[in-house]
Structure 1
Amino acid sequence: MEQPSYLQLSNLKITVFQAYLFWENVDKNLKNLSLRLSSGVKEKTDLIVLPEMFNTGFSLNSELLAEEMNGKTMDWMADVARTYDCVVTGSMMIKENGHYFNRLIWMTQEGEVTYYDKRHLFSMGKEDDYYTAGNKKVTVELKGWKIRLAICYDLRFPVWIRNQGADYDLLLIVASWPDQRMAHWRALIPARAIENQSYVVAVNRVGHDGNQVYHSGHSMCIDPFGNTVYYKPEDEDLYTFSIGYEELVKIRRAYPFLPDADNFTIV
C-alpha cells in the first residue's frame, strides 16, 4: 500500500544564528560569523539562517556598502554552504542595474542562487529612499518543503504573505527588528503561523547598531498551531532544531481552514 506523501518527507533541520553585528563592517562580520559557525555548528543541518543585512547591519549607506552578485559576501556564502553541506540564507545590500536592493540570498551547497528582494521597504526609516522594492513572491524548495521568503517589515503585511492554496509549508523571515517594537514582533509571528497554517521561522539580530538602536533578538520558530518550537530573547544564539512535516499535515487535516480563505490577486 502506498504511504501518504507527507510520510515521505523527512524532518527539516534548521540552524538559526541570532547574531551580534558590527556596524557597516563587512570583513569583521564575515570573520565573526565564520568563527561562531565553526565552533557552534555541532551537527549536520539542512539550513543556516542569518539575519537581515548580516554583513553590515541594517544601513542606508548603500552606495558605499552594496555589493554586486559576484562580490565577497556571495563568495563567503558559497564557501559556508559547501563547508557545512547545507543551504545558507540571509539578506544583504545588492547593487544591480543602477538600483540597490535589500536582497535575501538563498545559496545552496552546489552554488545555486535564488533570491527575494524585500517588497515592503520601511518608509518610516527612509529605506524606500535608498532601495528599490521587489515585486515578486519567491518560494524555494528544500527536501520537499516549500519555503516562502520574506524580510523584516514584510511581517506587517499579511496579504503579501498569505498562504493561498497552501503554497508553502514554512514562512522564513530574516530581520533587523528593534527592541522598542518587540511587542509587535512577538504578536505578529504567531499570528502569521496560525492564519497561514505553516511553520514560521523568524531570525533577528542582537545588539546596538550605528544609530544606537537596540535589537534584542527574540528569534523564534512557531508551529502551524501557534506553539513555540524555539524562542531566544536578548543574547546571541546559534541553535539547531528540527520541524516535522507530519505534524504540519495533521494540523491542516484536523483544522482545514485554508480552503475557506478568500481568493485574491495583488496588482
Structure 2
Amino acid sequence: MTTGSITALTLSAVQYQALDGGVAANVPEHIRLIEDAESHGARLVIFPELSLTGYRLDLLDGPGEWLSAADRRLDGIREICRRTGITAVVGAAFKDADGMPRLAALAVHPTGSIETSFKTHLHGPEQDLFVAGSNPAVLEIDGWKVALAICFDAARP
C-alpha cells in the first residue's frame, strides 16, 4: 500500500514463549510463525529477546545454544525469509567472529544474509555472560529505516 510517496510497512511483533529444547525446538516454531505473519501481509517480523532459547541463561553454560552468523541451524529461517520476502528479527545468544559473547537480535533478510544488533544495556546476570554492544543496528526495509532495540535498550535514548 502506498500513501503519497510512502509505502506502508506491515510489521508483525510476535509475543512468543520459547519452547523447552533450545534452538532445535524453537527454529521450527519461528518458521511456522513467520509463515503465518506472511499470510497477513507482514514484511518485517520481530521476535522477543532470546527467542531461540527463551530467557534461560542457565542453558548458555555449554556451547550448544550459542549461534554464529554461519550456523546451519538458522538455515530454515533463512529459507522461509527467502521464500516469503520477509525480514525476521530473532533473539539469540551469539558469538561473533572473534568469539565475543553477545546478546543479539539477528535480522535474517530475504537474501539469506544476517545483520546483527547487540544489546547495549546489559543488566543483572547478563553482565556475567555477555559483552555489551556499542550501538543498535538500523535496518532498511522497503524504504523504511528501523532501529533495533533489545529489552532495556528501548528505555534508553
TM-score, with length taken from structure 2: 0.84
Q: Matched residue pairs, number?
A: 151
Residue in 1 that maps onto 2:114: 113
Partner of 1:19: 16
Q: Distance in 1 between the 2:32 and 2:40 partners?
A: 16
Q: Distance in 2 between matches of 1:35 and 1:145?
A: 25
- The answer on 1:86 being equivalent to 2:86 is yes
Q: Distance in 2 between the 1:91 and 1:36 partners?
A: 14
TM-fit CA distance, 1:67: 1.6
Q: 2:56 aligns with which of 54, 59, 74?
A: 59
Q: Secondary structure at the match of 1:18?
A: coil
Larger gyration radius, structure 1 or structure 2: 1
Residues in 2 aligned to 1:113 and 1:41: alpha-carbon distance in whole angstroms: 19
1:39-58 matched pairs, under 5 angstroms: 41-58=38-55
Is the contact made by 2:27 and 2:77 (CA closer than 8 Å) also made in structure 1? no
Extract unaligned runs of 5+ from structure 2.
Answer: none
Question: CA offset at residue 19 of structure 1?
Answer: 1.5
For the 8 Å contact 1:44–1:84, the answer to whether it is kept is no
Q: 1:152 to 1:44 in 2, by over 3 A?
A: same
Q: Is the 8 A contact 1:13 1:45 kept in 2?
A: yes
User: What secondary structure, in the 3-state scheme, does the structure 2 residue paired with 1:89 have?
Assistant: strand
Amino acid in the other structure paired with 1:98: G
Name which of structure 1's ranges 45-54 and 18-27 shifts more when overlaid on structure 2: 18-27
Alpha-carbon RMSD: 2.1
Q: Which residue of 1 aligns with 2:133?
A: 134
Q: 1:74 to 1:155 in 2, by over 3 A?
A: same
Tell which deviates more after alignment, 36-45 or 129-138. 36-45
AA aligned to 1:147 is V
How far has the Cα of 1:36 moved from its partner?
4.1
Match of 2:32 among 30, 35, 40: 35
**Contact 1:99/1:132 (CA < 8 Å) preserved in 2?**
yes
TM-score (norm 1): 0.52
Gaps of 5+ in 1: 1-5, 159-267
| Residues 208-227 of structure 1, C-alpha deviations (whole Å, 9 max, x = no match) | xxxxxxxxxxxxxxxxxxxx
Counterpart code for 1:136: N
Is the Cα–Cα contact under 8 Å of residues 21 and 54 in structure 1 kept in the other structure?
Answer: yes
Aligned to 2:101: 100
User: Percent of aligned pairs with the same residue?
Assistant: 21
